[in-house]
């Protein structure tokens, strides 16, 4: 191929490095009005009254919006259970209740950002504090307040698997491994916090410039809350400074549009509105990765053959649903890891609490679930005295073996290949046998610097799951006379920094047989594009790429028939999937998967507890690398982000209140913290449903990193850590327990 598989310069690179690219916070109209949002600041309370008089009397303030100003005061990506603004006068039942610190209570509209901030601080809210629900045990007890109507025991979602008879099978196993694991919150920390502008365009549409992951879905939710037809709302994505799932749900979009609507209705004012969240507002106001507690009991034969698994998953949904139902489904499918079990029992719960909301985050439930699976495999290998790589290969899923949900994996399975490639590249040699307190030869006093190796594998869906009909739209217009001189590619997919628009331009150019320079994009604008679906689930290159390829093929046929300009559109529909059976969990959850394996070498400083990751080898089957440099960038970026999750980032909540709401208290990896060396291995086994064989790459490298690091730490110091991040304090406390003293 001429363009597919070649390293090309990103089509947005020059404008970004020259500072010409507009992000939502950069857009200015000269006379725009500024918004500031008053957040609840408390985890659970009833709003008795709101006094905005002092704020409204401040010079430069044009208005203050509260719940009574919202036409339909509810929204939500999966379930419309969240008020746009909380307070008296809401037309949503329970709309006067704040359920987490980031609930929005009022919006100030003012001439400047400073005036808006001062006015926000003048608003007086009388609260009646309610009992805070912040633990799983309390949330599910009869004593806890019910946070949402008709949700007993605060169980937002319950899912289960019953494959065979796991309880009976476990009784007959030669070896059983049990553990209780805790995975933490994680903050997205995208480069640009939430921001946007809004105005009424020449067609009379409320137009919102923002950063998100699905323009069509943003348009639908804004329209519903404002009680307007969707065609009266226009959503345009400017450049997006990262997303990772955190921009799937609403943040500033609805209040921007609401402010435009109310100012025009009251005063005929058509001035644009602008808002930029600071970092603390961003941390408080958008969702986090779901923290989970997972109880696992696995059984095997003495030769290491896996026989049965019994697993309980408790996932903290936070105050509202967001994508907790879908995240839980992914955790259910992947909690037994990429391994074959004849008998499986899973009970999984997503639970409402008054903690910050949990939502989509790179990996979407798979990192939490497969941390448990890979830890269980590593512990089993240690107990049986077997090589952890060989034990994985012995039990790996193949095309003829069924998932825990009872169906086989479609589209090809390359788990054995990624495991062998990663272990070979690292020249894998493991220390077989017990370590630490189970090893009589293990030293009581470790040297200051000790090294270890760890290994983990993973898999995850590509595309939407559980019965959702995958789809994506694209349009191609060919211009010219004797030859194609210009290609207009219209797509809705969000480029959140991953290079999506470049990949789509490459697919169009390859299919049409033109140079990349001839392809011009018109993207992410609901006025000219239909839906491409969300920039999530590692799906856009595969799903939207199919639509682009088909549209290009249709347009080329018209061109060859002298039908010029040749315009063609296509909507690609993915193979059907099915939802989890409510009793057995049986389903075909996905039609495409990606596969990954990672090996880690690290050093533990036993005096400071500091971990240095010296080398990471990552083998990732991407089907077909459209642009190899972009694929490597996704692999390296995922590993760095997973490094923060596994070792450094410690998001702390105390009874529903966030204690780490700034980057001085929530530490993310800097250049001196990340792995010293990353060896990415691109594997290309074409997927039958992918354009040119594409799978997906965005999330895969994240998934096995934390358990690989934990296994390497065990290899070094002989201590299993069943929760993380593996901060120096946690490492030292573990070492203190081994030495019979606390540090």
Could you report the per-residue pLDDT of 553-581, keeping only the tens digit for each? 999 999 999 998 999 999 999 999 999 99
pLDDT at 58 over 90: yes
The full DSSP string for 190-201 is -SS-SEEEEEE-
3-state secondary structure of 12: coil
Predicted local confidence at residue 444, as pLDDT: 83
Which 8-state DSSP code applies to residue 661?
-
Angstrom distance (rounded) from CA 662 to CA 650 = 12
Mean of the pLDDT values across residues 442-464? Answer: 95
Helix axes 366-384, 388-395, angle to 10 degrees: 110
Domains of the chain, CATH where assigned: 13-18+465-573 (3.30.365.10), 24-131+237-277 (3.90.1170.50), 292-464+583-738 (3.30.365.10)
Q: How confident is the model at residue 743 (pLDDT cuts 50, 70, 90)?
A: very low
Report yes or no: 52 and 110 within 8 Å, Cβ to Cβ: no
Buried b (16+ CB within 10 A) or exposed e, 60-78: ebbbbbbbebbeebbbbbb
pLDDT in tens, 188-241: 999 999 999 999 999 999 999 999 999 999 999 999 999 999 999 999 999 999
Residues 483-493: what's their mean pLDDT? Answer: 97
What percent helix, strand, coil does the chain show, rounded to 5?
Answer: 30, 25, 45
pLDDT band at 112 (very low <50, low <70, confident <90, very high): very high
CA distance 364 to 97: 29
The predicted structure's pLDDT at residue 440: 87
Q: Which two tokens stand for residue 611?
A: 């971990």
**What is the pLDDT, as a whole number, of residue 431?**
86
Lowest mean pLDDT among 98-102, 119-123, 563-567, 615-619: 563-567
- The Cα–Cα gap between 509 and 502 comes to 10
Question: Using 50, 70 and 90 to split pLDDT, how confident is the model at 439?
Answer: confident
Whole-angstrom CA distances from 652 to 624, 649, 728 are 40, 9, 16
Rounded to whole angstroms, the Cα distance separating 598 from 707 reads: 10
CA distance 287 to 315: 14
Token representation of residue 526 = 């609901």
pLDDT tens figures, 495-551: 999 999 999 999 999 999 999 999 999 999 999 999 999 999 999 999 999 999 999
Q: How confident is the model at residue 737 (pLDDT cuts 50, 70, 90)?
A: low
CA distances from 628 to 10, 502, 530, 634 (A): 12, 12, 29, 10
Q: How far apart are the first and last CA of the chain?
A: 60
Residue 437, pLDDT > 90, answer no
- What average pLDDT does the segment 686-699 reach? 97
Average pLDDT of every residue of the chain: 97
Q: What is the pLDDT of residues 152-171, one digit of tens each?
A: 999 999 999 999 999 999 99
Task: Tell me the C-alpha distance between 540 and 230, whole Å.
Answer: 24
User: Residue 442 pLDDT > 60, yes or no?
Assistant: yes
pLDDT of residue 424: 97
Q: Which of 621, 637, 629 is nearest to 696 (CA)?
A: 621
């Amino acid at each position: 191929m001429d363009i597919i598989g070649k390293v090309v310069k990103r089509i947005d690179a020059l404008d970004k490095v020259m500072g010409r690219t507009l992000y939502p916070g950069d857009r200015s109209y000269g006379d725009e009005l500024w918004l500031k949002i008053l957040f609840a600041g408390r985890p659970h309370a009833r709003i008795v009254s709101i006094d905005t008089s002092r704020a409204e009397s401040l010079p430069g303030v044009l208005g203050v919006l509260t719940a009574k100003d919202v036409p339909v005061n509810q929204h939500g990506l999966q379930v419309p259970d969240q008020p746009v603004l909380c307070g008296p006068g809401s037309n949503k039942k329970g709309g006067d209740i704040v359920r987490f610190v980031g609930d929005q209570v009022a919006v100030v509209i003012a001439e400047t950002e400073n005036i808006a901030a001062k006015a926000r601080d003048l608003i007086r809210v009388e609260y009646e504090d309610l009992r805070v629900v912040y633990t799983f045990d309390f949330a599910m007890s009869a004593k806890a307040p019910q946070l949402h109507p008709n949700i007993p025991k605060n169980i937002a979602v319950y899912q289960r698997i019953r494959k065979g008879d796991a309880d009976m099978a476990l009784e007959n196993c030669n070896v059983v491994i049990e553990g209780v694991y805790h995975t933490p919150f994680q903050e997205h920390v995208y480069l640009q916090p939430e921001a946007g502008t809004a105005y009424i365009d020449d067609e009379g549409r409320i137009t919102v410039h923002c950063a998100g992951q699905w323009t069509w879905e943003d348009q639908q939710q804004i329209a519903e809350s404002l009680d307007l037809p969707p065609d009266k709302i226009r959503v345009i994505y400017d450049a997006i400074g990262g997303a990772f799932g955190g921009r799937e749900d609403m943040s500033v979009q609805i209040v921007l549009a609401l402010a435009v609507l109310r100012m025009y209705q009251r005063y005929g004012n058509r001035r644009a509105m602008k808002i930029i969240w600071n970092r603390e507002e961003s941390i408080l106001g958008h969702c986090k990765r779901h923290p989970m507690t997972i109880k696992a009991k696995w059984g095997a034969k003495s030769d290491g053959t896996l026989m049965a698994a019994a697993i309980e998953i408790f996932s903290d949904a936070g105050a509202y649903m967001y994508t907790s139902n879908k995240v839980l489904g992914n955790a259910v499918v992947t909690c037994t890891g990429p391994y074959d079990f004849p008998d499986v029992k899973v009970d999984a719960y997503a639970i409402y609490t008054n903690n910050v909301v949990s939502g989509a985050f790179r990996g979407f439930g798979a990192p939490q679930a497969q941390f448990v699976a890979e830890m269980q495999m590593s512990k089993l290998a240690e107990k049986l005295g077997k090589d952890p790589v060989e034990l994985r290969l012995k039990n790996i899923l193949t095309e003829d073996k069924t998932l825990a949900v009872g169906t086989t994996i479609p589209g090809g399975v390359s788990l054995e290949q990624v495991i062998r490639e990663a272990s070979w590249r690292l020249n894998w040699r493991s220390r077989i046998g017990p370590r630490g307190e189970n090893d009589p030869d293990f030293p009581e006093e470790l040297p200051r610097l000790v090294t270890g190796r760890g290994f983990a594998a993973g898999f995850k869906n590509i595309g939407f799951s559980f019965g959702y009909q995958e789809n994506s739209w694209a349009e191609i217009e060919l211009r010219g006379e004797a030859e194609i001189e210009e290609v207009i590619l219209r797509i809705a997919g969000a480029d959140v920094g991953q290079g999506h628009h470049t990949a789509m331009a490459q697919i169009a150019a390859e299919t049409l047989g033109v140079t990349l320079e001839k392809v011009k994009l018109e993207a992410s604008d609901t006025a000219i594009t239909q839906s491409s679906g969300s920039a999530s689930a590692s799906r856009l290159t595969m799903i939207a790429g199919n639509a682009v390829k088909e549209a290009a093929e249709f347009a080329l046929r018209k061109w060859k028939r002298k039908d010029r300009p040749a315009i063609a559109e296509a909507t690609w529909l993915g193979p059907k999937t099915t939802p989890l059976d409510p009793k057995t969990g049986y389903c075909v959850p996905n039609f495409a998967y990606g596969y990954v394996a990672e090996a880690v070498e690290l050093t533990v400083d036993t005096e400071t507890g500091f971990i240095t990751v010296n080398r990471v080898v990552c083998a990732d089957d991407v089907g077909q690398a459209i642009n190899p440099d972009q694929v490597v960038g996704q692999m390296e970026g995922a590993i760095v982000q997973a490094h923060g999750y596994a070792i450094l980032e410690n998001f702390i909540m105390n009874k529903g209140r966030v204690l780490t709401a700034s980057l001085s208290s929530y530490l993310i990896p800097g250049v001196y913290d990340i792995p010293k060396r990353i060896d990415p291995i691109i594997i290309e086994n074409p997927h039958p449903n992918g354009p040119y064989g594409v799978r997906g790459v965005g999330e895969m490298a994240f998934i096995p990193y934390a358990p690989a690091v934990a296994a390497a730490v065990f290899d070094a110091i002989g201590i299993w850590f069943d929760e993380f991040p593996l901060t120096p304090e946690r490492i030292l406390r573990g070492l203190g327990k081994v030495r019979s003293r606390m540090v």
